[in-house]
Amino acid sequence: MRSKRINWSAYLYIAPAFSLALLFSFFSMGVSFWTSLHQWDPFTGGGRFVGLENYHRVLWGVDSLFWISLKNTSLYVVMMVVGMMVTSLPLALLCRKVRALQGVFRTLYFLPSITPGVVVALIFYQIFGVFGQPLDKSGTALGAIALMGLWSGAGYNMLLFLAGLNEIPTDFYEAARLDGANSRQEFWYITIPMLRNTLVFVMVMTIIGAYQVFTSVYVMTQGGPERSTQVLAFDIFMNAFSVAGQMGYASAAAWLLFLVIGVFVVIQMRLLRSRRIYDE
């Protein structure tokens, strides 16, 4: 029996969170777009309206690092997605089979998730220095950073997959076994379809996260050697906060990156909506 009376005080309850969200998300988006249309002057704090010139400079400017950053970032994303799928899902399948030590494994594999990214990058910088120095060569640097990204994220995604696997009713497998299915068929016709939501979720989150890779590049390579690890988030950061007067340019680059990520954001939104229906 829920009262249908309108509680005007509800607005007071949501006011703090909502005003902050308004300020730091929606208003900020507007500011970002406004900035991207201006040539930003760091000294007066104001800007000169230049229309779409910043976008033009990002896309076609002689000194623009946008395309090389986009190429590197996309390569990194591909490495991360493929790497995640071939490590965290198989690890989850194996981990489920282990009886005695499962808790220990879960804990150990989770450790990287609770270690600050800066610390991880510092340790790996040194480890890479000892084992073949991949960060010093333009052909291997990005791969090394992806390897570190995998190390940081694989355990967490393994736990997500484990949670997904545990939700699959065991009768499905029993029924399949009665029908004479072998374990490969069980995997492709039960496990994978039933894990679809988790799979998409992990994949989309990996893509969105990887497109914004920053800390590891900032700490380990600063975009080098020979710009082989120049990624978009780093390019944007440098333009906005290291090079004077490039805030408008950086905002334009950020919007273009947002367009790229946007596709995956829409997928994620759809997924979230379907989850909500499922939960309620």
Partner 1 sequence: MNNASLNGYRMRTRAMSFLTLLIMCIGAWVMVYPYFYAVGNSLKSRAEFTHDKRSLIPPRLSPSKLADHYILGKSDPAQEKLMKDWPPTRNYREAIIYGGIDRFLCNSFLYALVTTAGSLFFSILAAYAFARLQFPGRDFLFGMLLTTMMIPSVVTLIPQFLVIRSLGLVDSPLGVVLPSFVSAFGIFLLRQFFLNIPAELENAALIDGCSRWGILWKILVPLSKPALITLGLFTFMGAWNAFEWPLVVLSNENLYPLTVGLALFRDQNTQDWPRILAAGVMGSFPLIALFYAAQKFLTEGISLSGMKS
- Residue (16 or 51) nearer to partner 1, CB: 16
Based on CB atoms, which residue is closest to partner 1, 228 or 268?
Answer: 268
Note whether 208 binds partner 1 by CB under 8 A: yes
Cα first-last separation, the chain: 18
272 is an interface residue for partner 1 by CB under 8 A: yes
Provide, rounded to whole angstroms, the least separation between the CB of residue 250 and partner 1.
6
Q: How many residues bind partner 1 (CB under 8 A)?
A: 96
| Choice from 160, 203, 210, 217 touching partner 1 (CB under 8 A) | 160
Q: Is 274 in the site for partner 1 (CB under 8 A)?
A: no
Residue 214 interacting with partner 1 (CB under 8 A): yes
Is the CB of 107 or the CB of 185 nearer to partner 1? 107
Closest CA to 160 of 236, 106, 213: 106
201 φ, ψ (degrees, to nearest 5): -60, -50
Considering the complex, what minimum distance in angstroms separates the CB of residue 71 from partner 1? Answer: 17
Among candidate residues 232, 129, 9, 34, the one with its CA nearest the CA of residue 26:
34
Q: Which is nearer to partner 1, 14 or 52 (CB)?
A: 14
Residue 225 as a binder of partner 1 (CB under 8 A): the answer is no
Distances (CA, A) of 34 to 39, 49, 61: 10, 9, 20
Tell me: does residue 184 bind partner 1 (CB under 8 A). Answer: no
Using a 10 angstrom Cβ sphere, with 0-12 exposed, 13-18 middle and 19 or more buried, the burial of residue 20 is exposed
Least spacing, CB of residue 89 vs partner 1, in Å: 13
How many angstroms separate the CA atoms of 266 and 264, rounded? Answer: 5
What are phi and psi for residue 48, nearest 5 degrees? Answer: -105, 130
Whole-angstrom CA distances from 98 to 12, 94, 217 are: 51, 7, 36
Q: Kindly state the DSSP code that residue 137 receives in the 8-state scheme.
A: S
- Neighbour-count burial for 128-160, b at 16+ CB within 10 Å, e otherwise: beeeeebbeeeebbbbbbbbbbbebbbbbbbbb
- Is 210 a binding residue for partner 1 by CB under 8 A? The answer is no
Task: Tell which positions 75-134 bind partner 1, by CB under 8 A.
Answer: 91, 94-95, 97-98, 101, 104-120, 122-124, 126-127, 129-130
User: What SS3 state is found at 242?
Assistant: coil
The correct pick among 151, 194, 200, 227 for binding partner 1 (CB under 8 A) is 151
Q: How far is the CB of 279 from partner 1 (least distance, A)?
A: 6
| Residue nearer to partner 1 on the CB measure, 79 or 233 | 233
List binders of partner 1 among 11-70 (CB under 8 A). Answer: 11, 13-14, 16-18, 20-21, 23-32, 35
Binders of partner 1 among residues 230 to 249 (CB under 8 A) are 232-233, 236-237, 240-241, 247
What is the rounded CA–CA span in Å between residue 218 and residue 214?
Answer: 6
